[in-house]
């Protein structure tokens, strides 16, 4: 039985809010070990890579008009990657590992760039994820499918606790009071759901003749941003880790495989369980 896209979006948004708050609260109970953090990061990064390429990119190409949609999509993918690279370079916000090992062998730099930069960078990052979620659910209005946007939602659900943990963990390291950490945690948890709802409503307000291209270009931009987010977790670990490479590689492959399997689940749902 299909679910109404607005109801589904509200359910996704509620789930994203909940896991983000839980992730932020985890910093109050200590930190994860270095190895467990790296395994989770590899698994999530692989899943995000798969969602970007197996789920979002095909939908983007379907909605970009003209004789060469691939070239147009790639321009927006690169734009999304460059935008996220600039954010990472300026604000250096993508820090998830607060273990003692990471502190002793840190290659990400210290917190001298300031909490404001981390919060702003992750906030823009959350807006990008929210746009991708809202747009992917909006697609469900024009395509048959039981759970449109499921892959994007799962990618956010897996990654959002790590980001919330980054904010509250940094605040805890800097000695911020518990009340401030809680307020920041809840405020950050609201950004992605609000962006998702705004994206869904906003694309619905666009004229019907423009909705396809707007969604196509927007999804391509989100693909680039998500690719950069995933690779910003993976590439430093590939370069600096000389141990447990087999475990980290298996976690990455598991994440990619999960995203690929989910693509077929969504395809079957879209065709009523019929294969072609």
Confidence label for 28 from pLDDT (cuts 50, 70 and 90)? confident
* CB distance 90 to 117 below 8 Å: yes
- Indicate if the pLDDT at residue 120 is higher than 80: no
Instruction: Give the whole-number percent of the chain exceeding pLDDT 70.
Output: 75
Instruction: Give the whole-number percent of the chain exceeding pLDDT 90.
Output: 21
Q: What integer is the mean pLDDT of 219-228?
A: 90
pLDDT for res 209: 45
pLDDT for res 93: 57
Cite the DSSP H helix spans in 51-177.
Answer: 57-63, 69-91, 100-104, 115-138, 150-173
* CB distance 236 to 30 below 8 Å: no
Q: What integer is the mean pLDDT of 50-77?
A: 89
pLDDT for res 72: 92
- Indicate if the pLDDT at residue 21 is higher than 90: yes
pLDDT for res 144: 54
Closest Cα to residue 204, out of 4, 6, 3?
Answer: 6
Choice among 85-94, 136-145, 150-159 with the minimum mean pLDDT: 136-145
Q: What integer is the mean pLDDT of 134-144?
A: 72
pLDDT for res 11: 94
- Indicate if the pLDDT at residue 29 is higher than 90: no
Residue 34, number of CB atoms within 10 A of its CB: 20
pLDDT 10s digits, 73-113 = 999 999 999 988 888 777 665 555 555 555 444 444 444 44
Structure tokens at 96: 């998830």
pLDDT for res 14: 95
Q: What is the maximal distance between C-alpha atoms in the chain?
A: 58
pLDDT 10s digits, 170-194 = 888 888 888 998 999 999 999 999 9
pLDDT 10s digits, 224-262 = 988 988 888 677 665 566 667 788 889 889 999 999 988
């Amino acid at each position: 039985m299909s679910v109404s896209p607005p109801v589904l979006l509200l359910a996704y948004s509620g789930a994203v809010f909940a896991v983000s708050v839980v992730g932020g609260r985890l910093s109050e109970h200590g930190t994860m070990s270095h190895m467990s953090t790296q395994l989770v990061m590899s698994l999530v990064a692989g899943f995000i890579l798969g969602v970007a390429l197996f789920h979002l990119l095909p939908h983007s190409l379907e909605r970009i008009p003209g004789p060469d949609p691939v070239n147009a999509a790639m321009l927006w993918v690169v734009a999304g990657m460059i935008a996220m690279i600039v954010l990472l370079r300026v604000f250096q916000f993508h820090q998830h590992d607060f273990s003692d090992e990471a502190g002793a062998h840190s290659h990400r730099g210290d917190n001298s760039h300031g909490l404001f930069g981390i919060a702003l960078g992750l906030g823009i990052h959350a807006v990008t994820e929210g746009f991708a979620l809202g747009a992917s659910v909006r697609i469900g209005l024009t395509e048959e499918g039981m759970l449109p946007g499921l892959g994007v939602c799962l990618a956010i659900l897996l990654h959002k606790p790590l980001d919330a943990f980054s904010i509250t963990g940094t605040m805890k390291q800097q000695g911020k009071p518990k009340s401030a950490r809680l307020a920041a945690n809840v405020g950050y948890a609201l950004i992605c759901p609000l962006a998702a709802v705004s994206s869904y409503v906003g694309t619905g307000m666009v004229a019907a003749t423009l909705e396809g291209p707007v969604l196509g270009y927007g999804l391509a931009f989100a693909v680039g941003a998500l690719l950069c987010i995933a690779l910003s977790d993976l590439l430093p670990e590939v370069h600096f880790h000389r141990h447990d490479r087999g475990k980290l590689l298996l976690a990455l492959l598991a994440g990619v495989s999960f995203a690929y399997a989910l693509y077929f689940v969504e395809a079957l749902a879209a065709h009523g369980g019929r294969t072609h």
